[in-house]
Structure 1
Amino acid sequence: MSKAGSALKQVLESHSITQYQLSAIMGVNRSNFSRWLRGERDPLAEVVVEIYKALKSINPKAASEFVRLYLGIGADEEI
């Protein structure tokens, strides 16, 4: 699985956010979104930023967790 997909899947599950919610906010086709989660495709760097912004609009803690997981930063480290 891709690093972004893995981080995103974990954040969605731990914060009870659905793919539908996030894809709707981002204006992204759910099939593309689903491919990221399954690791079939990696989102472009610009899209990773859009994922962060969309998560932040739903739940700022989820957005921070996504960045930490994606970058491999421990919970005790600052971003």
Structure 2
Amino acid sequence: MGKAGKALKQVLEDYSISQFALAVAMDVERNNVYRWVNEKRDPTAETVLEIVRALKTLNPDAAKKFGELYIENEY
């Protein structure tokens, strides 16, 4: 588990975005974000796209960084 969770945790910390703010932007329960960040559950591919969209509304640089971290070393 965890590549998306690790990337998300780093981005939220680096850009001072709260789990609650992301949950509100995504219209999901905060406990879902908590589970992703703490690697208790991996987000689906569709959810990863929703995370990027939500991060774009909160901080476009954070969305870009999340994408970079998520796909890093995949090629």
Alignment TM-score, normalising by the size of structure 2? 0.93
Looking at structure 1, the residues matched to 27 and 37 of structure 2 have their Cα atoms a distance apart, in angstroms, of 16
Alignment TM-score, normalising by the size of structure 1? 0.88
Alignment of 1:35-74 (within 5 A): 35-72=35-72
Looking at structure 1, the residues matched to 17 and 32 of structure 2 have their Cα atoms a distance apart, in angstroms, of 17
Considering only aligned residues, what root-mean-square deviation do their CA atoms show, in Å?
1.0
Unaligned runs of 5+ in 2: none
Give the superposition deviation at 1:32.
1.4
Unaligned runs of 5+ in 1: 74-79
- Paired positions, count: 73
Asked whether 1:3 is paired with 2:3, we answer yes
Bigger Rg over Cα: 1
Give the superposition deviation at 1:33.
1.1
Asked whether 1:28 is paired with 2:28, we answer yes
Please identify runs of 4+ aligned residues in structure 1 that moved more than 6 A. none
